[in-house]
Structure 1
Amino acid sequence: MEKLNLPPYPFKIKSNEKHHLIFDEVRKKYIVLTPEEWVRQHYLQFLLNDKKYPISLIAVEKQLTINNLKKRTDILVFSPNGTPNIIVECKAPEVKITQATFDQIARYNLKLQANYLIVTNGLQHYFCMLDTKNESYVFLKDIPSYLKH
């Protein structure tokens, strides 16, 4: 798999007859290792190890319904009180981050009302914070660590 613009982590990877699989700590199972999953697993480890978010506050591929369509967030981090805090949209490294990607995560956030949005393809990362007063997003250099809440 491609080297990403994230720290390396000691992943558990195995193979079956058809695929390479990577262990997802949050879902507690092996998942087919696609380029997008490679990015998602790196970003999960970044949130857990580098930003110190507790695993108990993280959901992976959480389903939500928007306009009667079932969608899934790649990573959803909750606040300790159970409200959505961060939505992460992961793309494969070869996928360019475009306005459509931001539109997708913004649609999710109309429903979830998270404080932070992250869009990443593992090489480029975009962080923004919801400014409810001005009904806009403010781009940030990084997201806060869990302990800084």
Structure 2
Amino acid sequence: MEILNLPPFEYKIKQFEANSMIFDVLRRKYVVLTPEEWVRQHFIHYLINELKYPKSLLSIERGAKYNQLQKRTDLCVYNQQGKPHLLVECKAAHVPVTQEVVKQVSVYNQVLHAAYVVITNGLEHYCWEVDFLNKAYKPLQQIPSFKYES
């Protein structure tokens, strides 16, 4: 797998039949190691280890319905009240972050209403703060760290 622009972490990989599998700390099981999954696992560990998001607030492939179509988010981080806080779309490292990818995550977020949206291919990372009132996305220089709310 490709070296990414994310901090390394101690991963567990095993072979099962024809597939390489990587251990997912959120689902607590081995999953097929695809190039996109490699990026997602790195990003999960980045959120937990570097930005200090509790594992319990992260969810993988949450379903969302948009215009009668069932969609799945790559990664959703919730706030302490259980509302979507950060929506993450992961792409394989060889997939460029294009306007079409931005549109895809924006469509998901019309249903979820996360305060922040992140797109990453493991090499490039983009983060926006969402202003639903003015229907605007404000680009951020960095992804917000977890903050305990009282």
TM above 0.5, yes or no, is: yes
Aligned to 2:127: 127
> How big is the alpha-carbon RMSD for the aligned residues of Structure 1 and Structure 2?
1.0
Matching of residue 102 in structure 1 with residue 102 in structure 2: yes
Q: Secondary structure at the match of 2:52?
A: coil
Aligned to 1:30: 30
What displacement does 1:117 show?
0.2
Q: Secondary structure at the match of 1:147?
A: coil
Q: Percent identity?
A: 48
Which amino acid in structure 2 is aligned with residue 26 of structure 1?
L
What displacement does 1:135 show?
1.6
CA deviation profile, 1:22-63 (whole Å, cap 9, x unmatched): 011111111000000000000000001000101111100111
- Is there any run of 5+ residues in structure 2 with no aligned partner, and where? none
Q: Distance in 2 between matches of 1:59 and 1:78?
A: 8
Aligned to 1:52: 52
TM-score (norm 2): 0.96
Q: Distance in 2 between matches of 1:100 and 1:148?
A: 34
Which amino acid in structure 2 is aligned with residue 80 of structure 1?
Q
Q: Secondary structure at the match of 2:73?
A: strand
What displacement does 1:70 show?
1.3
TM-score (norm 1): 0.97
Q: Distance in 2 between matches of 1:76 and 1:141?
A: 20
Aligned to 1:111: 111
Which amino acid in structure 2 is aligned with residue 31 of structure 1?
V
Which amino acid in structure 1 is aligned with residue 30 of structure 2?
Y
Aligned to 1:77: 77
- Is there any run of 5+ residues in structure 1 with no aligned partner, and where? none
Q: Distance in 2 between matches of 1:38 and 1:135?
A: 32
Q: Distance in 1 between matches of 2:57 and 2:7?
A: 22
Q: Distance in 1 between matches of 2:49 and 2:139?
A: 23
Structure 1: which 4+ aligned runs deviate by more than 2 Å? none
